[in-house]
Structure 1
Amino acid sequence: MSCKSSRKVLHICLSNGWGGLEMYPSRIIPELRRQGWEAHGLALAGSRVAESLTEAGVTPLTVPSRGRALLGLGRLLAYLKAHEIGVLHCHKSSDLRLGALLVSLRPSLRLFFTDHMGVTRPKKDPYHRWAYGRVTRVFSISETTRRRNLAAFPLPAERIQRLYLGIDPAPYAPRLSNVERAALREELGLARDTVAIGLAGRVTPGKGQRVWIEALAWLAEYRPALAWQGLLVGGLTAAEGSNEAFVAELRDRVRALGLEERITFVGFRRDLPRLLEAMDIVCVPSRNEAFGLTVIEAMAAGKAVVGSDSGALPELIDPATGRLAAPEDPAAWGQALAELADDAALREALGEVARSRVARDFTLETHVAGLLAAYAEAA
């Protein structure tokens, strides 16, 4: 591989969905560029992935379907040759067939795969041995997923690398004036001395909104003097990535608990960094996060976080930065929320340590540097 081609990568994400996995390529492209690499993208025509790549300054190569991509191997190989691309990076396991075929036809290519989801079953049958046998390295986004990957994938340990995700902390730094923050809180229905308890993310059962609502009900029952307001941030329709039946179920439960005035369904918002400024406590009650981007976003905003003591979240949250609670235990969540709601100084202290932890361990710059080191080592 020439020096020139060793600094060019094609990110492959043939998905019609829209979540952290699909957002990843466009999120890292500006930092790849800043660190001296040229990024290309392969996506489904008309997908949000293709749109996001365009917004990031990359004109993606598009295909109408995954099957058509396989039928168009000659076109893809010609594209790789014309652009002198030596590195392929897949983000869905279903795209590895395409990546492995390209490597088989052009052995000088290096193939990487990021397991964004956390594998749940063994992949050691003949097909997966063939496909993963052509992968230069698997990136696991947490130690939790790396342990699963070691057990599931037909690869030696040295080809499975933990590489934590990262964010640019700058957008999350507080920037609203006192007047602007007060106005935003008023828009959200927050009284002056109300503790805002937020949960942001896709509204689906796995994200834990149900236990969060039950925890707020516990607060209302056992700490009636506390002034708080729950803010549930996330799309409320299927088009916005949410489970509409589950949204209806949550609304019914809030109504049954008599909490309609105390829990606000904020809906989808593009200004999450500013919404975090309006919050006092951020909750991440997901049952099985492979990493937890929302956690480090809240930490970067200097917020005290309560997260589930499952999945990868205990790798991000410790007693100096937040609190952990069992994902199916509303009382434990309520107690953690009560502790933080009672003590503004504690929330501030936890938030300061959390902000420092992100700056040290979870920046996009650090993540991309690790990624590029692996690309370069393979070259």
Structure 2
Amino acid sequence: MKSSGSSSPDTVPEPVSNVEVIAPNFKRKLSGVTSTIVQLIPLQRANGLKIVAMGPGLPGNLPKIGWRSLPGFWFRPKTRPFRIWHARRNNEMLAGILMRHVLRMKLSLLFTSAAQRDHKPFTKWLIRRMNAVIATSAKSGSYLQVPHTVIMHGVDTETFHPPATPEDAFTASGLPGKYLVGCSGRIRHSKGTDLFVDAMINLLPRYPEWTAVMTGRTTAEHKGFEQALRDRIARAGLQDRLVFLGEVPDVKLWYRRMTLYVAPSRNEGFGLTPLEAMASQTAVVTSDAGAYAEMVERATGTVVPAGDRPALEEAIERYLADPAKCEEAGKAGLEHVREHFPLQNEAAKILTVYERLFASSIRAGT
């Protein structure tokens, strides 16, 4: 797939003079930020907003512009007093600042922050030059020293849905047992994969009807970490019931097959996987990393302190011992996500921020 850089043609259905919002994506590899942009733009455009992406690593069918459109930023769009540059990374904020303050382009700058740590001085300097800021959780907002709006990420409740076909049943997996507990994400220490493995080594022998899986890629630098976990599993004699699936073609299918989903991360940016699991009608146990504690309610699952393996194991065991508790939590989670976390809600709330910027007295280049 070609990037939308200077060598690629613009793939936007209207001229740049019509474009109201630009969502830059200055990272070639797929990331959570990229996924957010890809999912939101079609919904935002369906609401009448003339928004496009800009940068490499984007799907060919996503409306976007290339760097050859840059001269158009010196002129106002037809229907707005300026364009909004919606950055989600430091380099994107910096590009917006250069275009607005150095090149004097007609832009207003917006930044979405997901980081849950004290920002470095340079990042704070960049953020102070934004016209508006969005935080993806109250926790991430607590590290900001500027006014901001909290808008949590949502999930596509049509793509992630409860079991609907025989293929969605755990029995279709070919794995032993009656119930499935799993976690998803890259295999590494920060994701708490070892905490999940150790809990399963202790619990699975006591609950023979359960099987555990881990889905997700292991990058080269974490191969040793994975192998050490495999060795632990082998010593416990659980190779058939505690399984690394690797990067599966469709993780959505595995959410539907799970009775319980575990998110054991030690640290996280936002962390969408519990929402995806709940949208699939699956009970959840999570750490309090990322925004997990802000998305999981008592009826939908259990939250434990990040890095606390005994607490994680105890929480998981309560569900393994009572599959009916999983079913009850799964139903509550589905209702919770559909009410509070549909992707359409996120798109609508961001649109409100855009409109507030357009309606304000702030004018690009002033």
Q: TM-score, normalised by structure 1?
A: 0.81
2:199/2:313 contact within 8 Å kept:
yes
| Counterpart position of 1:296 | 275
| Aligned residue in 1 for 2:182 | 198
Query: Displacement, 1:60?
Result: 4.3
1:197: Cα distance to partner? Answer: 0.6
> Does the 8 A contact of 2:136 with 2:153 survive in 1?
yes
Q: Deviations over 1:148-195 (max 9, x none)?
A: 123xxxx3x2xx211100111112222433x3334x63435143x2x2
The answer for the alignment partner of 2:171 in structure 1 is 185
Partner SS, residue 314 of structure 1: helix
Q: For residues 232-273 of structure 1, what are the alpha-carbon distances to aligned partners after superposition, in whole Å with 9 as ceiling and x for unaligned?
A: 0112345xxx83333333323322333212111111124222
| Offset, 1:80 | 3.0
Match in the other structure for 1:362: 341
Structure 1 runs not aligned, ≥5 long: 63-74
Moved more, 79-88 or 316-325: 79-88
**SS of 1:120's equivalent?**
coil
Equivalent of residue 217 in structure 2, options 235, 246, 258: 235
Match of 2:6 in 1: none
CA contact (8 A) 2:259 2:327 kept: no
Give 1:138's match in structure 2, choosing from 120, 133, 142: 133
Cα-to-partner distance string for 1:35-84 (whole Å, 9 max, x where unaligned): 1112222213xxxx33x3x24x324426xxxxxxxxxxxx5531435793
Distance 1:76 1:7 in 2: 10
Q: Alpha-carbon deviation of 1:226?
A: 3.7
Using structure 2 for the length normalisation, give the TM-score. Answer: 0.84
Q: Which has the higher helix share?
A: 1
CA shift in 2, pair 1:181/1:378, >3 Å: closer
When structure 1 is superposed on structure 2, of 266-275 and 346-355 the one drifting more is: 266-275
Counting only pairs closer than 5 Å after superposition, residues 109-188 of structure 1 correspond to structure 2 as 109-123=107-121, 128-129=124-125, 131-150=126-145, 155=146, 157=147, 160-177=148-165, 179-182=166-169, 185-188=171-174
Distance 1:327 1:218 in 2: 19
Q: Does 1:88 align with 2:75?
A: no
Cα distance change of structure 1 residues 215 and 349 upon mapping to structure 2, 3 Å threshold: same
What does residue 26 of structure 1 align with? 38
Q: Could you tell me which amino acid in structure 2 is paired with residue 58 of structure 1?
A: P
Between stretches 104-113 and 301-310, larger displacement belongs to 104-113
CA contact (8 A) 2:191 2:266 kept: yes
For 2:110 and 2:172, the matched residues in 1 are separated by 47
Superposed CA deviations along residues 5-38 of structure 1, whole A, max 9, x for unmatched, are: 7972111121133221222211111111111112
Partner Cα distance (2:96, 2:319) in 1: 48
Residue 13 of structure 1 is matched in structure 2 by: 25
Q: Give secondary structure in 2 for the equivalent of 1:164.
A: coil
Contact 1:290 1:311 in 2 (8 A): yes
1:77·1:102 contact (CA, 8 Å) conserved in 2? no
Instruction: Compute the displacement of 1:119 (Å).
Output: 4.0
Contact kept? 2:168, 2:257, Cα under 8 Å:
yes
Tell me the distance in 2 between the aligned counterparts of 1:16 and 1:225: 44
CA contact (8 A) 1:232 1:266 kept: yes
Offset of 1:120 from its aligned partner?
3.4
Structure 1 residue identity aligned to 2:88: H
Match of 1:78 among 71, 77, 81: 71
- Aligned length in residues: 338
Q: Which residues of 2 match residues 342-357 of structure 1 at below 5 A?
A: 342-357=321-336
- 2:3 is aligned to none
CA deviation map 1:278-318 (0-9, x unaligned)? 11100001122232210111111111100003442111112
CA 284–6 in structure 1, closer or farther in 2 if over 3 Å, else same = farther
* Separation (CA, whole Å) in 1 of partners of 2:357 and 2:239: 56
**Distance of 1:338 and 1:308 partners within structure 2:** 15
Match of 2:258 among 279, 282, 303: 279
SS in 2 for 1:243: helix
3-state SS of paired residue (1:259):
coil
User: In the alignment, residue 112 of structure 2 is paired with which amino acid?
Assistant: T
Helix, strand or coil for the counterpart of 1:172? coil
**Counterpart of 2:253 in structure 1: which amino acid?**
R
2:63 matches 1:58: yes
Structure 2 vs 1, CA of residues 364 and 220 (structure 1 numbering), >3 Å: closer, same or farther?
A: closer
Q: Which runs of 5+ in 2 are unaligned?
A: 1-15, 359-366
Question: Residues 328 and 12 from structure 1, CA distance in 2 versus in 1: closer, same or farther, beyond 3 angstroms?
Answer: same
CA distance in structure 1 between the partners assigned to 2:97 and 2:289 by the alignment: 33
What is the RMSD of the two structures over their aligned residues, measured on CA atoms? Answer: 2.5
Shift of 1:117: 3.3
